């Protein structure tokens, strides 16, 4: 009986020590776990629609999206992205694909880079470049990088450095064209 009383005292002290020593100080936890470079929001398989007057204008798909609010409100689109552009009738007129992109909410500019392809489904033309910017406010797509333009059934129909077009990629201007360019009568 004396032995059980002696054993109870250290067990009681041990139990009391465990209960009173486990205090979580939130400031300490935040100092240990806080990363100033971490995104404010992150999501996988993101799908975003931009509408105008109830009609779909743009649809953005991204495998991984990370949103940062400071120092500038930006969403980084990683591991591949696809942007579908719609006509006023609600049909997809063109699409843009890339491995990486950024949406800058303050400037209204979306940047896509790394294996960028812009396709027009009606004309069957395709723009290939390494970096492309889309100004949402002006519906203008542009780059200062090297570009290649292909058309289904005709191969490469244009090369150059720098380009300006619309989001539908129906008409375009190559700033500094190079090489031989075949032109249709249209």
Q: Where are the domains of the chain?
A: 47-177
Provide the 10 A C-beta neighbour count for residue 29: 10
Looking at residue 57, what is its pLDDT?
Answer: 84
pTM of the predicted model as reported, rounded to 2 decimal places: 0.75
For domain 47-177, is the CATH number 3.40.640.10? no
d(CA 56, CA 51): 4
Looking at residue 36, what is its pLDDT?
Answer: 73
pLDDT tens by residue, the chain, 186 residues:
554 555 566 666 766 666 666 566 666 656 666 667 788 888 999 998 888 777 778 899 999 999 998 888 999 999 999 999 998 888 999 999 999 999 999 998 999 999 999 999 999 999 999 999 999 888 899 999 999 999 999 999 999 999 999 888 989 999 999 876 556 665
As beta bridge partners, residue 128 has 117, 148
d(CA 9, CA 89): 81
Looking at residue 28, what is its pLDDT?
Answer: 65
Question: CA–CA distance from 181 to each of 68, 149, 156, 157 (Å)?
Answer: 43, 10, 9, 6
Alpha carbon dihedral 86, 89, 90, 94, in 10-degree steps, equals: -30
Which segments of 22-161 does DSSP mark as H helices, in order? 26-33
């Amino acid at each position: 009986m004396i032995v059980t009383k002696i054993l109870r005292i250290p067990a009681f002290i041990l139990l009391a020590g465990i209960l009173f020593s486990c205090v979580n100080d939130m400031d300490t936890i935040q100092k240990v776990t806080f990363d100033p470079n971490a995104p404010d929001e992150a999501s996988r398989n993101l799908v975003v629609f931009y509408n105008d007057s109830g009609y779909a204008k743009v649809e953005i798909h991204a495998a991984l999206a990370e949103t940062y609010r400071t120092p500038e409100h930006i969403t980084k689109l990683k591991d591949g992205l696809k942007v579908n552009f719609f006509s006023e009738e609600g049909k997809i007129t063109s699409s843009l694909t890339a491995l990486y992109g950024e949406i800058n909410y303050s400037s209204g500019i979306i940047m896509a880079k790394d294996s960028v392809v812009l396709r027009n489904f009606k004309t069957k033309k395709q723009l290939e470049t390494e970096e492309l910017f889309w100004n949402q406010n002006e519906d203008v797509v542009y780059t200062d990088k090297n570009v290649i333009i292909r058309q289904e059934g005709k191969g490469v129909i244009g090369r150059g450095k720098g380009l300006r077009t619309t989001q539908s990629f129906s008409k375009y201007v190559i700033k500094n064209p190079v090489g031989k360019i075949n032109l249709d009568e249209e």
